[in-house]
């Protein structure tokens, strides 16, 4: 028995937005998220992740870059699409579908400034977040899970380190991003096996233990060359 299908136009009343979870990291404060305090309703004077509606004449990527610049003064180097959030009730005004992104930055490298519809901008530790607008706590939690998974198979964590760093900083970074302790001996062995660190003829300032540590840099060119040949960055524990 044959079926006849009819293509009827579907009336939609929804808006498209972009949001950005901007992760920052320092050795002293650990992993943090950049938040803005909203000027306007809904959720006026409440903290939220940066974001807004996409203009008709721009791509999603251009939209999220613009919103970050307008609301925080930030220009990011590493930006990746995370997930699409489309619960019908996520915005009390109307149906809004948001394409979320996450970014990695070193907070000390930027001067943030609130603008557009933001009255304030500030960094918050991931384990000390304030009450958040919309479904932004869900978006942040999704971004944390993605970040923790991805650092085990791609060296994105190096985006958060200085160009020259002691090995202890790399170890501390992974402990912080993973949110748990790791086997230090096993970690060092795996890093050495990957052969992606350049040992420099420089040492870090004297530590409290009285022993200056060697400095290293990440060999990004070698990594991408190996990756193009099927190299697997495996830091799973």
User: Could you tell me where in the chain the CATH 1.10.10.10 domains are found?
Assistant: 156-227
**Token duo for residue 30:** 């650990």
State yes or no: pLDDT of 48 exceeds 60.
yes
* Cα distance between residue 124 and residue 34, in whole Å: 6
pLDDT in tens, 156-182: 999 889 999 999 999 999 999 998 899
Question: What is the second-level CATH architecture of the domain 14-150?
Answer: Alpha-Beta Complex (3.90)
**Contacts of range 186-189, beta carbons closer than 8 Å, 24 or more positions apart:** 186/237, 187/235, 187/237
User: Could you tell me where in the chain the CATH 3.90.79.10 domains are found?
Assistant: 14-150
Give the CATH fold of the 156-227 domain.
Arc Repressor Mutant, subunit A (1.10.10)
Are residues 138 and 115 in contact, defined by beta-carbon separation less than 8 angstroms?
no
pLDDT band for position 210 (50/70/90)?
A: low
Residue 203 DSSP code: E
State yes or no: pLDDT of 62 exceeds 60.
yes
Please report, for residues 1, 2, 8, the alpha-carbon distance to residue 5 in angstroms, rounded to integers and kept in the order given.
13, 10, 9
pTM, two decimals, is 0.89
């Amino acid at each position: 028995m044959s079926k006849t299908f009819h293509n009827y136009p579907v009336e939609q009343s929804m808006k498209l937005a972009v949001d950005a979870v901007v992760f920052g990291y320092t050795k002293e404060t650990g992993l943090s998220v950049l938040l803005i305090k909203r000027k306007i309703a809904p959720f006026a004077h409440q903290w939220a992740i940066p974001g807004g509606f996409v203009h008709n004449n721009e791509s999603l990527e251009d939209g999220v870059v613009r919103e970050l610049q307008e609301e925080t003064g930030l220009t990011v180097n590493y930006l990746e699409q995370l997930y699409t959030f489309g619960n019908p009730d996520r915005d009390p005004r109307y149906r809004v579908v948001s394409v979320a992104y996450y970014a990695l930055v070193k907070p000390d490298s930027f001067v943030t400034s609130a603008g557009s519809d933001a009255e304030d901008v500030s960094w918050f530790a991931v384990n000390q977040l304030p009450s958040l607008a919309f479904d932004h706590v869900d978006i942040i939690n999704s971004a944390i899970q993605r970040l923790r998974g991805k650092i085990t198979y791609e060296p994105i964590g190096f985006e958060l380190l200085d160009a020259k760093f002691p090995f202890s900083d790399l170890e501390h970074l992974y402990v912080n991003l993973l949110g748990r302790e790791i086997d230090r001996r096993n970690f060092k062995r795996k890093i050495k096996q990957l052969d992606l660190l350049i040992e420099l003829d420089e040492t870090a300032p004297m530590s409290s233990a009285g022993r200056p540590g060697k400095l290293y840099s990440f060999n990004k060119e070698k990594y991408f060359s190996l990756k193009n040949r099927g190299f697997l960055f495996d830091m799973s524990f």
